[in-house]
Amino acid sequence: MGYKLKKIINKAENVVEEMLHGMALANPALIHSEGLGVISRKEKASKVGVVSGGGSGHEPAHAGYVGKGMLDAAVAGNVFSSPDPERILEGIHQANGGKGILLVLKNYSGDFMNFTMAADLSGMDGIDVEHVIVKDDVAVEDSTYSTGRRGIAGTVLVHKIAGARAEEGGSLLEVKAAAEKAIQNLRSMGMSMSACTIPMIGKPGFVLGEDEMEIGMGIHGEPGINRTKIKSAKEIAKILLDKILDDYEASGIEMKNSEVALLVNGLGATPLMELYILNGEVHAYLAEKGIRIYKSLVGNYMTALEMAGCSLSLLKLDEELKKLLDAPSEVPGFSVSYGAVKTCVK
């Protein structure tokens, strides 16, 4: 018996452009450059432009973070595929306010090659371009798509920090420095309970048993650390946080008595009910460790189509990062809530 593709689409080859078209219609402050896979701010500003992007299928990343206070443009490739340099070059031009461009990349080989090539082409056009590379996933050192650690949902926090610094008038090097500080203090790890189906392929990319989960799986279905029986929310919180906190310690970053931003991210098919249950367990566990949650983000921030699962991200904060995280933003895909005081260590 064959696999029947069940998705609300027209033709599989048109999903990216039709998705971007619908997003722009829902958000009048955005412009869709038809045929080029670019979403940009309608209101242009004379400041450093912040541009990100990558393969589609991770919505609301990346186009959902375009707007005042975050990205100036996002470039979408095909599902789970890097956009080509021509598309990225268009995104750079759309975001160019005359003060230079910062590219925020996730650490995947195709993204690095194509974004840096577009940066070189932009230099020929007289546009000053810098880039940063997010590699927040502590699960594995190398993966199917990357040399070195993968970039996953913590990238959204880098968008926020860099966008806020650019919005307040920082120079290109100052915006880059803020983004680099966020990257250095950022750690993430995820898990999955089911596969996802790329429309052009039409069947799941892998199989997990009904009672199985995979720890450390990537946002494209890359293998993680191990497969195990389904665990409780409390156990999942401990497994993911222990690996994250061990990595901070190995990097020489002291976490006890620190303040963090927490991102509890759904991969597309996990109900908010479950993410909020997990959030409660994360708050309790971090309180035991003497770590205060300054702000919580719970929801679908960087998905993997309809994959069931989640990731946790921690960003260790100082006063500068707090201020940039608190700065206002007007984008479709980003919202923040304050951590529950009763679970925070004073």
Give tens-digit pLDDT for 270-289. Answer: 999 999 999 999 999 999 99
Task: Give catalytic residue positions.
Answer: 58, 220
CATH number of 30-184: 3.40.50.10440
- Report domain extents, the chain: 30-184, 186-343
- pTM score above 0.85: yes
Low-confidence ranges of the chain (pLDDT < 50): 1, 340-346
> In this predicted structure, what is the pLDDT of residue 140?
86
> In this predicted structure, what is the pLDDT of residue 148?
85
Kindly tell me the sign of the dihedral angle through the C-alpha atoms of 293, 60, 234, 144. negative
pLDDT tens for each residue of 225-263: 999 999 999 999 999 999 999 999 999 999 999 999 999
- Report the b/e string of 218-236 with b at 16+ CB within 10 A: bbbbbebeeeeeeeebeeb
Q: Is 159 left (phi over 0), alpha (psi -120 to 50) or beta?
A: alpha
* Displacement of CA 33 from its chain's centroid (Å): 22
Strand locations in the chain (E): 30-33, 38-41, 49-56, 73-79, 101-106, 129-134, 186-192, 212-215, 226-229, 259-266, 292-299, 309-316, 337-338
Which CATH fold topology does 186-343 show? Answer: Hypothetical Protein Tm841; Chain: A;domain 3 (3.30.1180)
End-to-end CA distance of the chain: 58
